[in-house]
Amino acid sequence: MSVAAWHRLGVADLGRAFARGEASSVDVTQHLLARIERHAALGAFLARDAELALAAAREADARRARGDATPLTGVPIAHKDIFVTRDWPSTAGSKMLDGYRSPFDATVVARLAAAGAVTLGKLNCDEFAMGSANENSAFGVVRNPWDAARVPGGSSGGSAAAVAARLLPAATGTDTGGSIRQPASFCGVTGIKPTYGTCSRYGMIAFASSLDQAGPMARSAEDCALLLSAMSGFDERDSTSAQRPPQDFHALMRAPRDGATPSRPLAGLRVGLPREFFPPGLAADVAAAVRAALAEFERLGATLVDVSLPRTELSIPVYYIIAPAEASSNLSRFDGVRYGHRAAAYDDLLDMYKRTRAEGFGAEVKRRIMIGTYVLSHGYYDAYYLQAQKLRRMIADDFRQCFEQCDVIAGPVAPTVAWPLGAQGDDPVKAYLADIFTLPASLAGLPGMSVPAGFGEGGMPVGLQLIGNYFAEGTLLHAAYAFQQATDFHLREPREASS
């Protein structure tokens, strides 16, 4: 492959090219840095440093020359700016942390660096990961590479847009209520949110602690499996980290199923279709793409099973009580005293708190803090927060019953394709409703992923959502890998990728 096409190689392909001596990490890094500069108008990057990136690439090439390489050694990536980093600013997309430098790396960042991945920079996101469109960043919107007049999805919109535009082969993201899966769907890339506790939250700037989970976004299921293998694992510094042995998700992805054949790799796989995921309000173009993808699953040997998740609609009010409640607690640390923004002029300590928060937080963050404080207040805790937690358990029970009938649950990621920039600015509730299909799995702590599955209105990508049982990431990745071996949706590129 020519130098001009290096940006078209995914994680696995780059690793193989490096191993064969067909490219060096320094050369590929320089090529991608030039592309990032040319496509700055997408708004995907918040921080870049060519000198830092090239130093890491040189070290990766030296490591490979010593025979000490992993599949990720020399592969350029970037991190959602919700992970703290020692060498790069960490802002969480907020003025509150503008210019902040962390004294340490998040565990996810450190583990990927240890595997030899080369960091190109930090990626734009909705402020404190609160949003579904990446329009809430204090540092500007991110644009969808398939149509610059549309949103890329959020809150990991910078990650999804950068991968889709072929600015880099993969990126990290975080998913609280769908913030990996929804932007992956809107931008036509693959993204996976693992089971809660699979990836350490240490060094991830908290939004909602019982929901936040890190995951990779890349071109393909194979690329995601390689990243997830390096990112995951128990971390004693995170009290919510699952005490499980390291997983080779790439091997699990490629392991054949019992009774499967090359022509029917998904033989025996039961795919549950919740009737609540196919309501009358589902856009016709999205429904058509998802149904066609499910027909391909059948051709690959899977069996489609009708199931029910009766409390799907309740996931929206449950999430928008629990997540803001946790946010109001987590964001109380940003008070102008210890670190972050502090108002320049104030009368006393209380006035400093007020002015600092008024200046530092954006409108959506303020809205969620106020909601969270309200539902936790005396007289309302039992009526709202406690009831939401009870319903959360019931939503998890619905999934448990479904998995007695199927191995994987499938459906759309979002009710529509990506909408125009600014279309929902005056109605935040409309954006909240767009999360209806991703919220249930987040509330239950289950793994879920988005797989490119076709195109809808305006030629915009449509993602197929796959949800697995607890710690069944291998099953999800295997199903997605088999689908991608039979289709080419994940290989298609927006016009931005060719320039």
pLDDT surpassing 90 at residue 5: no
- Picking from 136, 80, 95, 84, the residue whose alpha carbon sits closest to that of residue 334 is 95
**134 domain-assigned:** yes
Taking CA atoms, 163 is separated from 159, 219, 415, in Å, by: 6, 7, 23
Structure tokens at 322: 């629990």
In three-state secondary structure terms, 16 is: helix
Counting Cα atoms < 13 Å in the Cβ hemisphere of 15 gives 18
d(Cα 7, Cα 31) in Å, to the nearest integer?
A: 8
Q: What average pLDDT does range 359-374 have in this prediction?
A: 96
% helix, strand, coil for the chain, step of 5: 45, 15, 40
Please determine, for residue 372, whether its predicted confidence score (pLDDT) is greater than 80: yes
What is the distance between the alpha carbons of residues 133 and 130, in angstroms, rounded to a whole number? 9
> What is the rounded average pLDDT of the residues 279-301?
97
pLDDT digits (tens, 9 = 90+) for 162-177: 999 999 999 999 999 9
**What are residue 76's phi and psi, to 5 degrees?**
-75, 135
Q: Which amino acid is at 96?
A: M
Residue reference for tokens 């919220």: 439
Q: How far apart are CA 364 and CA 132, in angstroms?
A: 11
Residue 212 has what pLDDT?
98
Q: Is 438 among the domain residues?
A: no
Query: Active-site residue 179, yes or no?
Result: yes
The mean pLDDT of the chain is: 96
Q: What are the pLDDT digits (tens) for 390-422? A: 999 999 999 999 999 999 999 999 999 999 999
Is 54 a member of any domain? Answer: yes
The structure's pTM equals: 0.96
**204: DSSP letter:** B
The per-residue pLDDT for range 188-243, each reduced to its tens digit, is: 999 999 999 999 999 999 999 999 999 999 999 999 999 999 999 999 999 999 99
Whether 80 is catalytic: yes
**Residue 185 in this model has a pLDDT that exceeds 70:** yes
Domain that holds residue 491: 3-263+476-498
The question of whether 430 is a catalytic residue gets the answer no
Q: Could you give the CA distance from residue 45 to residue 157 in angstroms, rounded to a whole number?
A: 10
Q: Which of 38, 111, 42, 121 is nearest to 76 (CA)?
A: 121
Distance between CA atoms of residues 341 and 361, nearest Å: 10
Helices (H), 438-491: 439-444, 473-486
Banded model confidence at residue 4, pLDDT cuts 50, 70, 90: low
CB proximity list for 330: less than 8 A, separation 6 or greater: 206, 207, 208, 209
What average pLDDT does the segment 298-317 reach?
97
State the average pLDDT over residues 366-372. Answer: 96
Write out the H or E segment, with its range, that includes residue 330.
helix 315-330
What percent of the chain shows pLDDT beyond 70?
Answer: 99
Structure tokens at 421: 């920039």
pLDDT for 431 beyond 90: no
Task: Decide if 91 is inside a domain.
Answer: yes
Does residue 1 surpass a pLDDT of 70? no
CATH number for the domain harbouring residue 133: 3.90.1300.10
**Angstrom distance (rounded) from CA 78 to CA 337:** 31
What pLDDT is stored for residue 180 in this prediction? 98
Q: How far apart are the first and last CA of the chain?
A: 17
Rounded CA gap, 316 and 326, in Å?
Answer: 16
In this predicted structure, what is the pLDDT of residue 296?
A: 98
Do residues 127 and 138 touch, judged by C-beta distance below 8 A? yes
**Helix, strand or coil for residue 188?**
coil
Catalytic option among 90, 155, 229, 315: 155
Q: Which of 24, 80, 94, 137 does the annotation list as catalytic?
A: 80
Q: Which residue is listed with tokens 């309000």?
A: 281
Average pLDDT over residues 344-353: 96
Q: Is 202 inside a domain boundary? A: yes
Query: pLDDT-based confidence at 2, cuts 50/70/90?
Result: low
Residue among 24, 102, 179, 315 flagged as catalytic: 179
Q: Of all residues in the chain, what percent carry a pLDDT higher than 90?
A: 94
Residue that has been written with the tokens 């309200």 in this structure: 374
Find where tokens 């699990």 sit. 252
How many structural domains are present in the chain?
A: 1
Q: Look at residue 3 in the predicted model and tell me its pLDDT.
A: 66
Contacts of 477 (CB under 8 A, 6+ apart): 192, 221, 224, 225, 228, 249, 252, 253, 449
Task: Report the C-alpha gap between 454 and 487 in whole angstroms.
Answer: 10
Q: How far apart are CA 381 and CA 269, in angstroms?
A: 43
Residue 210 lies in a domain: yes
- Banded pLDDT at 247 (limits 50, 70, 90): very high
Nearest-angstrom CA–CA distance, 101 and 161: 25
The H or E element spanning position 467 is strand 461-468
Contacts of 100 (CB under 8 A, 6+ apart): 89, 90, 91, 339, 340
**Parallel, antiparallel or unpaired: strands 270-274 and 408-412:** parallel
Give the residues across from 174 on adjacent strands: 214
pLDDT at residue 499 greater than cutoff 90: no
Mean pLDDT for the stretch of residues 119-127: 98
Rounded CA separation 490/11 (Å): 13
